[in-house]
């Protein structure tokens, strides 16, 4: 059955490419499906031709419906220039993966991760191209992610009310931390569009869904960064173009955040003080183990191999990581330390270069571009990258395919929007009214 589904997915590439090339308007629908299916491709549209019973995060070579659509978009559209700084970051990171893989004892698990990262790069290029080819594509992408977030909020609320999520509701993704992190990719763009006076009801629904996910999950990083993200988005949006509406909504949002503070405290306090102290202690022990690995392996232990090395190498034991399944099968809860341990200092430099380059690109574009509905969306994508970059400092979840995909989509949308707007009237664009083509309500929600 697996091979039949895989064959069917691969067979979609040719007709989908022809459709997108002959009818570019369907790029919006393709982007919407990509954004939506990131949350729902398991288990039927995520096929693993090669699978391992492996304790690492990535357990094989996988192909998803998101990959199929991305490949079709690449074949149907023209190339878009990626900024040099991002290309340098990609090059450094790939070089680090190769070096650490060659230095590692196990090559196959490392290849699993390299395959996953290459898929994310394909998605990044596809979204950038679709954004340039069709002005409504990034709005459709955000609409897809937003729709999925609303669905996840409903599932999380049901889990919480039914008492089936004793450690926090995780929706269909299974854990509150991964659901909380992925929700940022919908909330910040939606709030940016709300501030700009666009797509009011759908945007409000997404922002509320993000709050539901944060409160039912109870993750401290999720709750804190939800509020910080809204404030950051407001500041960036006002810095880009101040309007009376933005000022009023900024005041209202601040008031609501203040009023919701008791609910946020309640969500965090659902976990006992002992549980929180224990969690902090385990995180500290994992951090100590990661630093030992980094000291002993300057080139990295190889991608996707942290758990095995930490246990078999005795690092977790010496650092005092508790001997239980949850702690001994999880990587260090800091994605930057995890990348450093697995891919060496070169890998950390590559990752930081990619993230910082995308953020700097957005900040520079924000200062030089005149108002455009897409420039307002770019503000939301920029805030998303900043908030997500902060969140992965508290989690190992950067290594999951969900976060790889969503980071690639956000960065691709930002690159595509800046490339498109830079083409108009030199380095400035002419303010224009929203059109039905880019209106949220016209997207398939």
Over residues 413-434, mean pLDDT: 64
- Contacting residues for 164 by C-beta, under 8 A, at least 6 apart: none
Distance CA(176)–CA(165), nearest Å, equals: 9
Could you tell me which residues are beta bridge partners of residue 61? 50
User: Which tens digits make up the pLDDT trace of 188-217?
Assistant: 999 999 988 766 889 999 999 999 999 888
pLDDT over threshold 80, residue 166: no
Structural domain includes residue 293: no
Total count of domains within the chain: 1
Structural domain includes residue 276: no
Structural domain includes residue 366: yes
pLDDT score at 426: 46
Q: Model pTM?
A: 0.90
Q: Which residue has the tokens 């729709």?
A: 147
The length of the chain in residues reads 445
Over residues 29-50, mean pLDDT: 90
Question: Could you list the residue range(s) of the whole structural domain that residue 255 is in?
Answer: 2-271+332-442
Structural domain includes residue 404: yes
Q: Where does the pLDDT of residue 438 fall: very low under 50, low under 70, confident under 90, or very high at 90 and above?
A: very low
Neighbour tally for 419: CB within 10 Å: 19
Structural domain includes residue 132: yes
pLDDT over threshold 60, residue 425: no
DSSP annotation of 113 reads: H
Structural domain includes residue 127: yes
pLDDT score at 327: 83
Structural domain includes residue 287: no
User: Which tens digits make up the pLDDT trace of 68-77?
Assistant: 999 999 999 9
Residue 256: asked if its preceding bond is cis (omega within 30°), the reply is: no
pLDDT score at 221: 87
What's phi and psi for 24, nearest 5 deg? -60, -20
Nearest to 310 by CA among 326, 289, 325: 289
* Structure tokens given for 207: 């922002």
* Structure tokens given for 349: 């430099």
pLDDT over threshold 90, residue 5: no
Region label for 171, one of left (φ > 0), alpha (ψ between -120 and 50) or beta (otherwise)? left
- Residues 138 and 131 sit within 8 Å (Cβ to Cβ): yes
* Lowest model confidence (mean pLDDT) among 226-240, 309-323, 390-404, 413-427: 413-427
- Residues 216 and 157 sit within 8 Å (Cβ to Cβ): yes
pLDDT score at 432: 41
Distance CA(376)–CA(363), nearest Å, equals: 12
Residue 43: asked if its preceding bond is cis (omega within 30°), the reply is: yes
Nearest to 323 by CA among 310, 334, 335: 310
- Residues 422 and 390 sit within 8 Å (Cβ to Cβ): no
Nearest to 62 by CA among 53, 74, 71, 50: 50
Nearest to 366 by CA among 261, 255, 238: 238
What is the chain's alpha carbon radius of gyration, rounded to the nearest angstrom? 21
Region label for 197, one of left (φ > 0), alpha (ψ between -120 and 50) or beta (otherwise)? left
- Contacting residues for 39 by C-beta, under 8 A, at least 6 apart: 148, 149, 151, 152, 171, 172, 173, 182, 402
User: Which tens digits make up the pLDDT trace of 81-118?
Assistant: 999 999 999 999 999 999 999 988 889 999 999 999 99
Most trustworthy range by pLDDT among 142-156, 273-287, 324-338? 142-156
pLDDT over threshold 90, residue 239: no
Structural domain includes residue 161: yes
* Structure tokens given for 394: 């508290």
pLDDT score at 270: 62
Nearest to 96 by CA among 253, 251, 288, 302: 302
Q: Where does the pLDDT of residue 165 fall: very low under 50, low under 70, confident under 90, or very high at 90 and above?
A: low
Segment holding 28, helix H or strand E: helix 26-37
């Amino acid at each position: 059955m697996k091979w039949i589904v895989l064959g069917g997915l691969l067979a979609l590439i040719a007709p989908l490419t022809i459709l997108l090339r002959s009818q570019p308007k369907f790029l919006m629908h393709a982007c919407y499906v990509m954004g939506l299916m990131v949350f729902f491709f398991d288990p039927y549209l995520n096929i693993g031709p090669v699978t391992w019973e492996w304790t690492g995060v990535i357990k094989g070579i996988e192909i998803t419906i998101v990959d199929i659509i991305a490949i079709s978009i690449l074949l149907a559209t023209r190339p878009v220039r990626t900024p040099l700084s991002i290309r340098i970051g990609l090059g450094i990171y790939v070089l680090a993966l190769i070096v650490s893989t060659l230095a590692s004892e196990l090559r196959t698990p490392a290849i699993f991760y390299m395959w996953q990262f290459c898929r994310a790069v394909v998605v990044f290029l596809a979204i950038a191209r679709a954004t340039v080819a069709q002005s409504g594509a990034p709005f459709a992408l955000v609409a897809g992610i937003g729709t999925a977030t609303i669905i996840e909020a409903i599932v999380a609320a049901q889990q919480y009310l039914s008492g089936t999520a004793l450690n926090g509701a995780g929706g269909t993704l299974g854990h509150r931390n991964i659901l909380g992190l992925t929700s940022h990719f919908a909330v910040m763009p939606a709030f940016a569009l709300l501030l700009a006076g666009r797509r009011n009801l759908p945007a409000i629904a997404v922002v509320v869904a993000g709050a539901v996910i944060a409160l039912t999950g109870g993750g401290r990083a999720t709750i804190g960064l939800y509020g910080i993200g809204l404030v950051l988005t407001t500041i960036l949006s006002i810095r880009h173009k101040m309007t009376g509406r933005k000022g009023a909504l900024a005041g209202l949002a601040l008031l609501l955040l203040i009023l919701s503070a008791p609910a946020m405290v309640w969500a965090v306090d659902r976990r006992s003080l002992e549980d929180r102290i224990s969690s902090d202690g385990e995180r500290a022990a994992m951090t100590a183990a990661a630093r030992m690995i980094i000291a002993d392996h300057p080139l990295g232990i190889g991608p996707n191999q942290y758990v095995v090395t930490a246990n078999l190498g005795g690092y977790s034991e010496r650092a005092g990581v508790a001997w239980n399944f949850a702690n001994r099968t999880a990587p260090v809860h800091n994605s930057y330390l995890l990348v450093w341990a697995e891919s060496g200092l070169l890998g950390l430099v590559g990752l930081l270069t990619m993230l910082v380059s995308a953020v700097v690109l957005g900040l520079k574009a924000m200062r030089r571009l005149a108002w455009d509905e897409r420039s307002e969306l770019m503000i939301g994508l920029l805030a998303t990258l900043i908030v997500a970059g902060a969140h992965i400092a508290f989690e190992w979840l950067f290594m999951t395919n969900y976060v790889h995909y969503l980071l690639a989509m956000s960065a691709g949308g930002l690159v595509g929007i800046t490339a498109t707007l830079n083409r108009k009237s030199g380095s400035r664009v002419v303010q224009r009214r929203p059109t039905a083509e880019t209106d949220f309500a016209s997207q398939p929600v």
